[in-house]
Amino acid sequence: MKKLWKWFNSQLRYQIVMPFLILTTVVTVVGGLLVLYFLAQSLNERIDNQLATITRAANDAVVTQEDANLQFLRQIAFSPGIPESNIPSTGQALARNDRQGFAASIDPYFRLTRTQANIRSIDRLIAFNQSGQTIVDFEYPSGVITNNYVANESFDARAIPFVDYILSGEDDEIGDKFAGIATISDVNYFITVAPVYYNDEIVGGLIAAMRLDSLLVMLRDRSQAGAMSIHDQTGAVLNSTLGDEVGTIKAEVMQDFWTHPDVQSGRKPVYDIEKVGQREFKFSYVPLTIRNDSFGILAPAVINDFALSAWESTFWPVVFTVVLFSCVIIVVGISTANFITRPLEHLVQTAKDVASGKLDRRASVKVDNEIGQLATSFNTMTEYLIQLYDQVQAEAVQRAAIVDSITDGIVVVDDQGVVQLINRATRHLMGLADDAPPPRKLSDIPMEKLVEGVPGFGTQRAQDLYNLGEYIVRASIAPVVGSDNVRSGYVCVLQDMTAEVAVDRAKTNFIGTISHELKTPLTVIGGNADLLLRGLAGKLEDDQASFVETIRLNANNMASLLQNVILVADLDAGVTTIDLAPVELMRPVDEARWRVQSQIKAKGLALNIQIPSELAPVLADFDHVRQVVSQLLDNARRYTSAGSITVRALDQGDHVRVEVEDTGRGVAPDMQEQIFHRFIRGDGASEGINSAERGIGLGLAISKQLVERQGGTIGVESTPGQGSTFYFTLRYANDPSSPEKAPSLAAAD
């Protein structure tokens, strides 16, 4: 026996037999539940079929009763009367409005309703004349079986449905008779209305009315239903054989009723179970259709106790069987599961210990089956994991050493900007000790944008410079993207630019100083040459005047170039200030024109100014706007040999666009972006412009800086051979928007 058990225990596939046994039992349980389900479905289907039969019988009874009522009204309408007894025909009595004669004419017919089964439920007979006024209104008392009726007072019958149709002679697709549900004297009736003719003219009409409670009792008895109710279009109950305990139809049932096309066509009812009093009823809701018109909802019902009794008699034996099998399955399942899972639990615990860092743990499962093989493989995997861990640790130490040895500062952050790593160079730049905690977020590093003495004249190099304590660093940031193209954070490199900025500042200061020193003698040379040309030292010969004019022009050009160099030096040094204030655009444009108009006129060019007088003030620096317009006008003068130069201002909604248009040779497409950089200028040879007229490539670069510092933009539109249009934009003084841009490190913060 022990050998057999050992043999059984050595094969995992035999241990899996028990779960199959459990599966078999589960199938048995599911089968039992399915039996219960199909039994319930069968019982429910039987009740539904019974309700469907009752519903059809009730609908047929309504149609039959309507036909009987119409036949009854037809007999009255065509009553010939009894001349020998001075009883007129019904038509004649209505035409004469003879109340007494009409009452005598229809009295036998109304009493006849109590003796004939098909019209026994008619409770009220009303006749009305051509004006809609009732001349006869006979009614049997409610709840009393008697052959004596009462005659009600006359009233206006036009408030009753279909009376106006009868009086106006209207027909529907079926004929000139009508039937439906109506409320008369606060009582709900099933009415049938027919016209009365005399000499081929309508002289009035007849109404045969059955109280709804009487109609429902008749329908219940004829269809053998447990109960019968009629609801209006909203679901509110009108009358029911169950009395006032029947309420409004549920909202979800009403939704199914009105939205399901099969229900509206009468092919399928909507079912619902309601508890009325102490009993449970199943209702079938179908449209109450009379002469092709819907007048509400007919709700036959059957008592649901039979289905519950049959269900209860079957349910408990099935439940007992299922519970018994479940208990057996639980006992067998627990025993088998414990036997199989015990070594697996040991493996799981060992795996948890290894995962928590206890790398010396090993699985000690000693069985000769697949679980034993799994334990052996797990131990082998653990050994390999330790080797990989040691290798990763060594590589991590090596990478950390490499990062620490980099002379630039390295900051690694996650997507939320939380600092994950900084190297030794970053600690040096921040003045942190080796054992001091790093900043928590990138925004905690005390870097401030370098705004004064910025080298590079607005280039990307200048935009990335920051003050970090006593150092000036250039910050660059890039996303960290893995092999799966998913971003895991950012790496920020902080390059120490302190020495480079100092050299650049010294160079800028030197250039500014030299430019200032050169400007003074050039001004003297130009001024003296101008005095000589005016004859202050005596009249000059033509050749002498030509030489002096050349001296004056070149001195002025050199002075202008030096002025641009000085402005560049001021911009680089951060000493150029921006004083934004409301400015009438015509004023700086006019001053700029005054400075260059003599030179433009000397070249034979026309200068046009098109500034609207109603243009609103702009928010700008007066001197800088004048400087920009002067630079653009001077640029247009230099590169236009014939034609005109036009300065215009265009309203662009929230800003104004200032254009300087010339008729020169234009700018090549590949040069249109470059000409706003320093020391970039057009090819004078290709443009047909002599080199004496060309600058050194600073005017447009200066203009770009001055415009952008005022929150505007600058650009050029040009087609080679057709001239150029240089433009810049300025905000209106009443525009509250700000042109400030977000810092470049915001993406990682």
- Give the residue-averaged pLDDT of 49-71: 86
- Give the residue-averaged pLDDT of 455-459: 48
Q: What is the pLDDT of residue 564?
A: 65
Which residue is it, tokens 């004048």? 626
- Neighbouring-strand partners of residue 731: 655
Closest to 429 (Cα-Cα) out of 407, 451, 400, 450: 407
Q: What is the pLDDT of residue 304?
A: 75
357 to 326, 363, 374: CA distances (angstroms): 43, 15, 21
Q: What is the pLDDT of residue 491?
A: 87
135 to 123, 519, 578: CA distances (angstroms): 17, 124, 102
92: pLDDT strictly greater than 60: yes
3: pLDDT strictly greater than 50: yes
User: CB–CB of 741/449 below 8 Å?
Assistant: no
User: CB–CB of 477/748 below 8 Å?
Assistant: yes
Grade residue 618 by pLDDT with cuts at 50, 70 and 90: very high
User: CB–CB of 617/584 below 8 Å?
Assistant: yes
Closest to 305 (Cα-Cα) out of 285, 276, 271: 276
d(CA 521, CA 527): 10
Q: What is the pLDDT of residue 451?
A: 59
User: CB–CB of 6/15 below 8 Å?
Assistant: no
CA dihedral 345, 351, 357, 362 (to 10 degrees): 90
H-type helices in 225-295, by residue range? Answer: 251-259, 261-264
- Give the residue-averaged pLDDT of 601-620: 91
- Give the residue-averaged pLDDT of 260-280: 81
Q: Whole-model pTM?
A: 0.41
541: pLDDT strictly greater than 80: no
d(CA 472, CA 448): 10
Lowest mean pLDDT among 195-199, 243-247, 336-340, 641-645: 336-340
Residue 292's region, left for phi above 0, alpha for psi from -120 to 50, else beta, is left
d(CA 62, CA 294): 13
Closest to 70 (Cα-Cα) out of 204, 190, 216, 212: 190
User: CB–CB of 90/79 below 8 Å?
Assistant: yes
Q: What is the pLDDT of residue 725?
A: 94
Residues recorded for the chain = 749
Which residue is it, tokens 């070249």? 603
Q: What is the pLDDT of residue 209?
A: 92
693: pLDDT strictly greater than 60: no
Give percent above pLDDT 70 in the chain: 80
617: pLDDT strictly greater than 90: yes
**Top-confidence range, 61-65, 225-229, 366-370, 647-651:** 647-651
Which residue is it, tokens 């001195």? 555
Grade residue 36 by pLDDT with cuts at 50, 70 and 90: low
Produce one character per residue of 225-254: b if its CB has 16 or more CB atoms within 10 Å, e if not.
bbbbbbbbeebebbbbbbeeebeebeeebb
CA 173 vs. chain centroid, Å, equals 51
- Give the residue-averaged pLDDT of 654-668: 91
Strands 644-651 and 714-718: unpaired
Lowest mean pLDDT among 79-93, 122-136, 365-379, 397-411: 365-379
Q: 10 Å Cβ neighbour count for 162?
A: 20
705: pLDDT strictly greater than 80: yes
Produce one character per residue of 388-424: b if its CB has 16 or more CB atoms within 10 Å, e if not.
eeeeeeeeeeeeeeebeeeeebbbbbbeebebeebbb
Q: What is the pLDDT of residue 474?
A: 80
CA 66 vs. chain centroid, Å, equals 56
Q: What is the pLDDT of residue 612?
A: 92
Strands 409-413 and 419-422: antiparallel
User: CB–CB of 604/567 below 8 Å?
Assistant: no
User: CB–CB of 318/40 below 8 Å?
Assistant: no
d(CA 566, CA 578): 17
539: pLDDT strictly greater than 80: no
Grade residue 661 by pLDDT with cuts at 50, 70 and 90: very high
**Top-confidence range, 243-247, 508-512, 547-551, 589-593:** 589-593
19: pLDDT strictly greater than 70: no
- Give the residue-averaged pLDDT of 210-232: 88
Lowest mean pLDDT among 235-239, 487-491, 519-523, 542-546: 519-523
14: pLDDT strictly greater than 60: no
d(CA 370, CA 461): 66
d(CA 87, CA 96): 13
User: CB–CB of 529/548 below 8 Å?
Assistant: yes
153: pLDDT strictly greater than 70: yes
Grade residue 553 by pLDDT with cuts at 50, 70 and 90: low
Question: How confident is the prediction for the chain on average, in pLDDT?
Answer: 80
Q: What is the pLDDT of residue 609?
A: 93
Lowest mean pLDDT among 121-125, 185-189, 281-285, 332-336: 332-336
689: pLDDT strictly greater than 60: no
Q: What is the pLDDT of residue 137?
A: 92
Looking at residue 307, its amino acid is: A
- Give the residue-averaged pLDDT of 204-217: 90
Q: What's the count of helices (H) and strands (E) in the chain, helices before strands?
A: 19, 24
- Give the residue-averaged pLDDT of 271-292: 85
Lowest mean pLDDT among 344-348, 360-364, 711-715: 344-348
d(CA 64, CA 383): 93
Residue 631 is classified by DSSP as H
Residue 137 is classified by DSSP as E
Sheet of 227-231: strands edge to edge?
Answer: 237-240, 227-231, 293-303, 279-290, 270-276
Q: What is the pLDDT of residue 663?
A: 92
Q: What is the pLDDT of residue 363?
A: 76
d(CA 512, CA 515): 5
For residues 594 and 522, which has the higher predicted lDDT (pLDDT)?
594
Q: What is the pLDDT of residues 497-537, one digit of tens each?
A: 777 777 766 666 666 676 666 666 767 776 777 777 777 77
